[in-house]
Structure 1
Amino acid sequence: MPLSRRRFLQLGGVGALVVGGGVVGTRFRDGGSNAQAAPIGPTSVAVAEAEAARATTGQVVRRSLRAAPATIDLGGRTVQTWAFDGSLPGTEIRATVGDELRVILTNDLPEATSIHWHGVALRNDMDGVPGVTQDPVEPGGTFEYRFVLPHAGSYFFHPHVGVQLDRGLQAPLVVEDPAEPANYDEEVVLVLDDWTDGLGAAPDDLLAGFRRDGMSMNGMSMGDMDMGDMGGAGPADPQKPLGDDTGDVAYPAHLINGRLPAAPFTVTSAPGRRIRFRMVNSGGDTAYRLAIGGHRLTVTHADGFPVRPVDVDSLIIGMGERYDVVVTAGDGAFPIVAFPEGKDDPAGFALLRTASGRAPAPDTRPTELTGRLLSYSDLSPTDEVALPSRSPDRTLDIALAMGDGGRRWLINGKAFPDHEPLDIRSGERVRLVFDNQSMMFHPMHLHGHTFAVADQPGRGLRKDTVNVLPMQKLAVDFDADNPGQWLVHCHNVYHAELGMTSVVSYLR
């Protein structure tokens, strides 16, 4: 595929030109002496070989998606936005682990777009990042995504262009494992989303304002603040587990499955039935504290991977994170509340109904919101998905910081696409050390891999998105077993667009 200047800068790094998986004139960048070392491009033989080696059922799941402007009823309020096939969230895609997914995207938007398959360790040329793994899908164009689904779990998909994620372009992807024990009676997917398009400022206008004016913390200009005077290492207040400043956008609404609290999404069941909730935070700038009134949550999966079950009252789900929980339904009508952590916005609200009777009010705040809150340290992976113990072959420091009064967000002192690739080689155990030097939390997401939280005792929790708290260092380990060029970035869509993005680059 032809290379734009931006793609050249993003993919190749200093001195590299990638054409059809080959590389011309690349210098070795990680301190070694091998002058032939070069990035493995998304169209390389190594990427195709990795895909061919994946276990497959031989089954093909075919879908088509149309990204286009749409009129959406949020439940009493109608907005003009962009969506997949005219629905919010988009229609769920469901398949079995080992199936090949073939999705034809048609772009009827007024600008270029793509699809990123969030959390899936897929082949690199299907990852959906324009300028890094593919050319953008231009208006009127089509693109077919074809890849094997290597792991079961709860995922979702969205564009990786600008702040399109903060419109209506997102939908769940569920990959089932037939061998998984069925310890529940029914299943419900909950997509949590912060919403401004058509109710407040458009996402592109918000981004333009941040580029012009920078971001603020509790009403103060970040450019006017002395970071040395802020003190502390991470949030000190247990009532504020993500710190004092959790986001930059005051959203007029928060949705659960595309519905406002006034006309909520309703889960209809019966008393005593065990319900598996697959929960996805597709929001652009908001972490949620989620609870179900009158119920405890048994957490069974984090970012798609099984964990040893833990019972809690509530959990925080950062942007891009997913949790699966099982609840035993009570008798009555119960609130499902997604409270925007650290914000004054109205909460997202849905209903669990197992009997007739008056529904709780949309502004209900169940006591479970202030009960036992899940933490990463509560969770450990099951034996079959635990990352085997091994010392890291390579450690990469990833410093997260604010620049230019909040007009830029930096990784290792640079704002993407002006970045220094993070070089690795196939077969290595790689440790990423996130060093948050800012006073905001960052949900850091690695494409194409699942890592283990290395700071935990024993074998760490498997995830692909992790909340790095203010002034915190957090290390994660992964095996370099999926060659290509992979983004690592903050899943606050505005931080990512203002530069908090880099590339984990496999070298030959």
Structure 2
Amino acid sequence: MSPTLTRRRLLAGIAGTVGIAGTAGAAAWAGGLFDPRLVAPGGDLVARTEAARRRAGARTVSARLNPRPVTLDLGGRQVQTWGYQDSAPGPLLRARAGDVLRVEVANGLATETSVHWHGVALRNDMDGVPGVTQRSIAAGGTHTYEFTAPDPGTYFYHPHSGVQLDRALYGVLVVDDPHEAGRYDQEWIVVLDDWVDGTGRTPDDVLASLQSMGGHDDMAGMNGMAGMEHGGMSGMSMGGMESMTSPLLGGAGDVVYPHYLINGRAPDAPVTLTGRPRQRVRIRLVNAASDTAFRIALGGHRLTVTHTDGFPVTPTTCDALVLGMGERADVTVDLGDGVFPLVAVAEGKSGQGVAVVRTGAGSPPAATVHPAELDLRVLLTGGLSPADAVKLERRKADRVHRLELGGSMMPYRWTINGTTTDKLDPLLVGQGERVRLEFVNQSTMFHPMHVHGHTFAVTDTGVRKDTVIVVPKQTVAVEFDATNPGQWMTHCHNIYHAETGMMINLAYQE
């Protein structure tokens, strides 16, 4: 038997094996699916690692998710979509570091689904990746996820099934630090999204259009010609040509969206966040979008970034902050007196999300408001510095993997090392190794690269993250200690790029 295993062979093995979908059953994934020289998601090493995380007397936090067809109110616009509840985002799940999270998922969709716990260093068989760590949750079926939440931070959950994320199937998971002082008066959770479902297209329609028309969604992006990389042409929408290029990020997306949302509301019917003058507010920002980075600013205020992807940083003040898809940031702000726009501009695109921050009297801002802060000091989270307590100790890498990111719009195909997911051998690592991943972006499109089950250090800055923006023609190296065994997907968090090939398995060897 070959010492490596391609995703194509893995999928074939799972399709031909009777499992026990609908339970947490780790044993279903231990036998016959993997090369025996690789760690299986339900293997003994995974179970022992989880047992070591468990604390005596740990609290169990139970929840239930019910993905189903819903009617969503975007603020005067009713759309038919799929969601976990009748509003977006889905239910807030909250635990303390060290708690056991037990979530039962009852699938009310007419198709299969899954739930991935984005950013959490959890046990591998609970990671929620069909064909790798579990079977899909069948239509009408149930599945229970149970795992220790080891690290405090701002995380989120979403399907890892096709392009289902580009609906209302997402929600926030907050893992509180019982030792954190909490030097703020209140907390807001702010979720950013790009929205297309129920407006005449579904995400599956968008993907099919991109694929069948060579990178041209009939109401979205046409950013290349045959054999050309992204960026060869501008985006096209029904209203004409739209450039999807950012001076910070390069090629900024493939899909033109009709709406950009903050907490499920369009900018002409925004959500209102209320406080009092001189209060300090902690804002947990989550970019749950599928194809859009956002530049975020609060009019009349500066933001102090305290955490990124759940881990603390040296507090850094800025006027605006850019978050790629899958990235999160915690910021604090000292509130002024009045009414202020919280704006999330679709970076490199036309459109924005808007929320209203109200601490006093005043008229709400227009949907097109453009705070001056958006054009002042703008930060990307990959350039921040880590807090001393979470710095990764310097040591020589035991294993180095180079991931060359490429792709084209015609045909619509996104690649790692020149090929797509189904043809890629896993990235092999050994338990306890220091692993270095070098993301080399050879395309003209930015890619927010996400590693499941681990938090890495960006080598240039040391900042701890699980998702990092890699801009065109640049290399970003990250390092982590391989201490969470199993099979972990590593991919671009542009959902359309991941679905068409820019995804690879990072596999532990026994």
- Identify if the C-alpha distance between structure 1 residues 69 and 185 changes in structure 2 by more than 3 Å, giving closer, same or farther: same
Residues 299-352 of structure 1 deviation map (CA, whole Å, 9 limit, x = unaligned) = 0000000001000000100000000000000000000000000002x2100010
Read off the aligned partner of 1:314 and give its amino acid letter.
A
Measure how far apart 1:87 and its partner are.
2.5
Measure how far apart 1:214 and its partner are.
2.3
Q: Distance in 2 between matches of 1:85 and 1:229?
A: 40
* Structure 2 counterpart of 1:225: 228
Q: Which residue among 382, 385, 401 is the counterpart of 2:387? A: 382
Q: Distance in 2 between matches of 1:12 and 1:429?
A: 30
1:481 partnered with 2:460 = no
> Where does structure 2 lack aligned partners over 5 or more consecutive residues?
1-5, 15-26, 234-244
* Structure 2 counterpart of 1:235: none
Q: Distance in 2 between matches of 1:8 and 1:137?
A: 21
User: In the alignment, is the contact (CA less than 8 A) between 1:291 and 1:314 conserved in 2?
Assistant: yes
- Identify if the C-alpha distance between structure 1 residues 194 and 174 changes in structure 2 by more than 3 Å, giving closer, same or farther: same
Q: Which residue among 448, 451, 454 is the counterpart of 2:453? A: 448
* Structure 2 counterpart of 1:234: none
Q: Which residue among 411, 416, 423 is the counterpart of 1:411? A: 416
Residues 362-413 of structure 1 deviation map (CA, whole Å, 9 limit, x = unaligned) = 1100000001011346511111111111110000011111057242111112
Q: How does 1:124-273 map to 2 (within 5 A)?
A: 124-215=124-215, 219-223=222-226, 225=228, 240-243=247-250, 245-273=251-279
Q: Distance in 2 between matches of 1:113 and 1:24?
A: 21
Q: Distance in 2 between matches of 1:88 and 1:384?
A: 35
* Structure 2 counterpart of 1:402: 407
SS of the equivalent of 2:379 reads coil
Q: How does 1:1-16 map to 2 (within 5 A)?
A: 8-10=9-11
Runs of 4+ in 1 over 3 A off after TM superposition: 5-8, 10-13, 22-26, 216-220, 224-230, 375-378
- RMSD value over aligned CA atoms? 2.3
Read off the aligned partner of 2:507 and give its amino acid letter.
S
SS of the equivalent of 2:423 reads coil
Measure how far apart 1:215 and its partner are.
2.1
- Identify if the C-alpha distance between structure 1 residues 24 and 197 changes in structure 2 by more than 3 Å, giving closer, same or farther: closer
Q: How does 1:32-43 map to 2 (within 5 A)?
A: 38-43=37-42
- Identify if the C-alpha distance between structure 1 residues 228 and 448 changes in structure 2 by more than 3 Å, giving closer, same or farther: closer
User: In the alignment, is the contact (CA less than 8 A) between 1:65 and 1:104 conserved in 2?
Assistant: yes
Percent identity over paired residues: 52
Measure how far apart 1:38 and its partner are.
1.3
- Identify if the C-alpha distance between structure 1 residues 338 and 226 changes in structure 2 by more than 3 Å, giving closer, same or farther: closer
> Where does structure 1 lack aligned partners over 5 or more consecutive residues?
27-36, 231-237
SS of the equivalent of 1:384 reads helix
- Identify if the C-alpha distance between structure 1 residues 69 and 6 changes in structure 2 by more than 3 Å, giving closer, same or farther: farther
- Identify if the C-alpha distance between structure 1 residues 312 and 24 changes in structure 2 by more than 3 Å, giving closer, same or farther: closer
Q: Which residue among 404, 427, 433 is the counterpart of 1:422? A: 427
Residues 239-272 of structure 1 deviation map (CA, whole Å, 9 limit, x = unaligned) = 71001x2001100000000011121111010000
User: In the alignment, is the contact (CA less than 8 A) between 1:256 and 1:348 conserved in 2?
Assistant: yes
- Identify if the C-alpha distance between structure 1 residues 376 and 207 changes in structure 2 by more than 3 Å, giving closer, same or farther: same
* Structure 2 counterpart of 1:284: 290
* Structure 2 counterpart of 1:503: 505
User: In the alignment, is the contact (CA less than 8 A) between 1:302 and 1:324 conserved in 2?
Assistant: yes
Measure how far apart 1:111 and its partner are.
0.6
* Structure 2 counterpart of 1:469: 471
Read off the aligned partner of 1:74 and give its amino acid letter.
L
SS of the equivalent of 2:386 reads coil
1:324 partnered with 2:330 = yes
Measure how far apart 1:227 and its partner are.
8.9
Measure how far apart 1:178 and its partner are.
1.3
Residues 117-173 of structure 1 deviation map (CA, whole Å, 9 limit, x = unaligned) = 000000000000000000000000000000000000000000000000000100000
User: In the alignment, is the contact (CA less than 8 A) between 2:336 and 2:359 conserved in 1?
Assistant: yes
Residues 74-106 of structure 1 deviation map (CA, whole Å, 9 limit, x = unaligned) = 111000000003321101001100000000000
Normalised TM-score (structure 2): 0.90
Normalised TM-score (structure 1): 0.90
Q: How does 1:105-116 map to 2 (within 5 A)?
A: 105-116=105-116
User: In the alignment, is the contact (CA less than 8 A) between 2:63 and 2:102 conserved in 1?
Assistant: yes
SS of the equivalent of 1:499 reads coil
Read off the aligned partner of 2:396 and give its amino acid letter.
S
- Identify if the C-alpha distance between structure 1 residues 6 and 73 changes in structure 2 by more than 3 Å, giving closer, same or farther: same
User: In the alignment, is the contact (CA less than 8 A) between 2:121 and 2:454 conserved in 1?
Assistant: yes
